[in-house]
Homo-oligomer: A and B are copies of this chain.
Amino acid sequence: MEKLKKYVSVKDEDHFYHQGAVELLIFNFLLILTILTIWLFKNHRFRFLHETGGAMLYGLIMGLIIRYVTKSSDVESETVYECETLKSGPSTLLINITNQVYEYQYKREISRHNVNGHQGNAMLQKMTFDPSIFFNILLPPIIFHAGYSLKKRHFFRNLGSILTYAFLGTAISCIVIGLIMYGFVKAMVHIGQLKQWEFHFTDCLFFGSLMSATDPVTVLAIFHELNVDTDLYTLLFGESVLNDAVAIVLTHSISIYSPKANPNVFDAAAFFQSVGNFLGIFAGSFAMGSSYGVVTALISFMHLTKFTKLCEFPMLETGLFFLLSWSAFLSAEAAGLTGIVAVLFCGVTQAHYTYNNLSPDSKMRTKQLFEFMNFLAENVIFCYMGLALFTFQNHIFNPLFIFGAFVGVFVARASNIYPLSFLLNLGRKQKIPRNFQHMMMFSGLRGAIAFALAIRDTESQPKQMMFTTALLIVFFTVWVFGGGTTPMLTWLQIRVGVDPDEDLKAKAASQTASNLDKNTTKGESAWLFRIWYGFDHKYLKPILTHAGPPLTSTLPEWCNPIARLLTSPSAYGDQLKDSDTDYIINNDELTENYESSTHITVPAQDSTVSIQTTGKEDIQEGDLGLGGYKLQLQHTAGQPKSSLA
C-alpha cells in the first residue's frame, strides 16, 4: 500500500516536469517560428518588421490561442484558506493534508482584489513568468551585450552629448511624463474613474521613470544594416544604453521615496534622500561593475614568469570571462545595488580593456556567445510581451490613462531631445543637425526595460493600469515607429551606406600622423573626453592591456621601479606603432580594421570566402555585432549601399 503511494508520488513529480516542458516547448516553438520568419524577410529584404516585432506578433497570436482555446480548469485554487495559527508568511510552509505532509514555497503576496483573477485555466497561469526571471536571467545578457559592443571610438568622442541625453534627458522625460500623468489622473478622479487616494504624484513619477527607458533595438538594427551615419548611430545607441541604467535606478529610487507624513505633500528630506539614493546606487553599481571588468583584465593580462598565459586556454578564458561578468551582476544584486547597471559598465570595461588581452579565439568566442545570448533573450522577452497581452490576468484598460500616457511619452521625448540638442549645439564644434534631432525624436521606442520595470510590481490596481498601458505603448512604438524607420530615414534625407572604417580612414588621411592626438581631440570640443583619454591612454591602458606606451615613459621618473613592474614587455616594442595610429582609443583595433577591410575587398565575389571574412570583421570590429548575417546580406545582395539616400 505504502509502496503504491510512493510510486504515485513519483508519477506526480514526473507530471510536474512534463508541465514545465510543455510551456518551454511553446516558447521554443514561437522562437523557431520567429527565426524562420526573419529568414523569409531577409530573403525579401523586407525591413518593416524587425525580428522583435515578429516575435511579439507570434506571442500575441499564441496568447490568443491559449486564452480562448485551451480548457479552463484548476478551479480549486480560487479558494483562500484560513490559517489563523500563522503570524507571518514563512518562506517554506509545511502543511498536513489528510495525513501527508506537503511542502509549499512562498511565491508572493496577493492583493484581495486579484484573488478572483486566479481562476481561469491552468495553462494561462503556467505561462506567466516570475518577473524576477526578467531581471535576473533575461536582461543581464542583453545589457552586457550592449555595453560590450559599444562603438568605442565614436562613443568616447560623443561622450558629453550622450551623458547629457542619458542623465538630464531621462530626468526631464521622467518629470514631464509624471506631470502630464498627474494632470490626467486628476481629471480621472474628477470624473470619478479613480479614487483620490489610489494614485499619488509619486506613482505618476514612478510611471514616468519606467516609461523613460528607451529601447530602440529595432531602429538600431536597421541603422546597422543600412550603415547610417556613424555619429547619429552612436548618439542614439549610447543614449539608449545609458538611459536604461538611469531609468532603472530612477525607478528604484522613486519606489523607495517614502515621505513620512501625507504622501501628497512635498517632503524635502525624503526627496533629497531619494536623490542621494539615486546617486549612491548609480555610483556603487558603476564601481562594482567596472572593478569586475578591471579584475578580468588583470587576470587575463597576468604573465607571471612561470605561467603560460591564460589566453592559451581559450575555453578557460571564455569561462572566466563569462563567470566574472555574471558575478558583477550578482555581487551588485547581493549588495543591494542595481545589477543591470553593474553589468552594463562591466561590459564597457571588458570591451575597453579585457578584450585587448584575449586570444583571437576567445575574442571570437566571447563575442559570439554574448551575441547569441542577446539574440535569444531579446526574442524571448518580445515573445513574452506578445503573450502577456492575453495571458496576464489582471489587465486594467483605462482609455483616459492610456491616452494620457501616449501624450506624455511623446511630449517628454520632444522636451528631452530638442532643448538638449539646442544646448549641446552651443558647445559642439560638429553640430547635431536638425534631421538627426527629428530621427532621435522618432526613435524613442519603448521595449524590454520598460516592460520589465512595469511587470516587476503588478499587485495594486494603479500598478496594473501602468503595466497595461506600458505594454500598449511598447506594442505601438515597436510596430509603428520600428516599421517606419526606413521611410523616415529617406524622408529626413539622412546619409546611409557610410562605412565607419572608411569614415575614420578619411579623417586619418587628412591629418598628419604626428599631431593627430591634439588635433582630433580638439576638433571634438570634448574637454571631458580629453582628460579621460589622456589618463586612460597614459596609465590605465598600459597597466591593464598590452597596448599604449610603456608606463616608464608616462609616469614621473621617481615611479620608474613600479612602472617597470607593471608594464608588459611587449609595450616597449609597440611604442612607435602606437603613437602612429592610436588617435582615438585603441591601436590594435584600428590596425585590425585596416587589415579586415583589405581582406574584404578582395574576395567579396566568392560566396564562401566572404562568409569567413565577414565573420572576422564582425569580431575584430567591436561594434554592435548584431550578427555577421547582416553585413553578409549586403555582400550577397550586391545592391549599392547608398540606394536609399
Contact = CB atoms under 8 A, between A and B. Distances in A.
Nearest to A92: B77
Contacts of A115: 94, 101
Interface string A77-120: 11111110111111111111110111111111111100100100
A42 B90 contact: no
A361 B94 contact: no
A122 B90 CA distance: 11
A594 interface: no
A608 B363 CA distance: 13
A109 B102 contact: yes
B81 A96 contact: yes
Number of copies: 2
A445 B315 CA distance: 24
Contacts of A233: none
Nearest to A93: B104
B361 A372 contact: no
A358 to B, nearest CB: 11
Contact of A315 (B13, B308, B627): B627
B369 A369 contact: yes
A88 B98 contact: yes
Contacts of A522: none
Chain B CB within 10 A, most for which of A36, A43, A109:
A109
Nearest to A22: B334
Contacts of A111: 101
Interface stretch (A164-172, A322-330, A581-589): A322-330
B89 A97 contact: yes
A21 interface: yes
Contacts of A318: 372
Interface stretch (A177-185, A255-263, A468-476): A255-263
A435 interface: no
Contacts of A331: 21, 25
Nearest to A318: B372
A558 interface: no
A326 B21 CA distance: 10
B365 A368 contact: yes
B4 A330 contact: no
B105 A360 contact: no
A92 B118 contact: yes
A10 interface: yes
Interface string A6-46: 11011111101110111011001101100110110011000
A303 to B, nearest CB: 12
A28 B326 contact: yes
Contact of A334 (B21, B31, B108, B322): B21
Contacts of A607: 312
A107 B103 contact: yes
Contact of A306 (B43, B106, B323): B43
Contacts of A6: 459-460
Contacts of A275: none
B97 A83 contact: yes
B632 A327 contact: no
A258 B4 contact: yes
Contacts of A279: none
Given A22-B334, A90-B77, A136-B20, A31 B258 contact: no
Contact of A3 (B36, B83, B258): B258
Contacts of A633: 312-313
A94 B110 contact: yes
Interface in A303-354: 306-308, 310, 312-316, 318-320, 322-324, 326-327, 329-331, 333-334, 336, 339
A628 interface: yes
B35 A323 contact: yes
A215 interface: no
A612 B365 CA distance: 12
A7 B457 CA distance: 11
B360 A612 contact: yes
Nearest to A610: B312
A121 interface: no
A500 interface: no
Contacts of A376: 319, 322
A331 B628 CA distance: 31
A343 to B, nearest CB: 12
Contacts of A39: 307, 310, 313, 316
Given A18-B334, A308-B43, A611-B360, A109 B100 contact: yes
A308 B42 contact: yes
Interface string A412-437: 00000000000000000000000000
30 contacts: A7-B258, A10-B255, A13-B457, A14-B336, A17-B136, A18-B334, A20-B132, A24-B330, A25-B334, A42-B308, A77-B93, A81-B83, A81-B85, A81-B86, A81-B93, A81-B95, A83-B96, A93-B95, A101-B109, A101-B115, A102-B110, A103-B110, A104-B107, A312-B611, A313-B629, A314-B627, A315-B627, A315-B628, A318-B372, A361-B615
The 7 tightest CB contacts between A and B, nearest first, are A313-B629, A21-B333, A104-B104, A315-B627, A25-B330, A21-B334, A89-B102
Given A32-B327, A102-B106, 8 more contacts: A3-B200, A10-B255, A11-B256, A18-B336, A32-B324, A101-B110, A105-B105, A313-B633
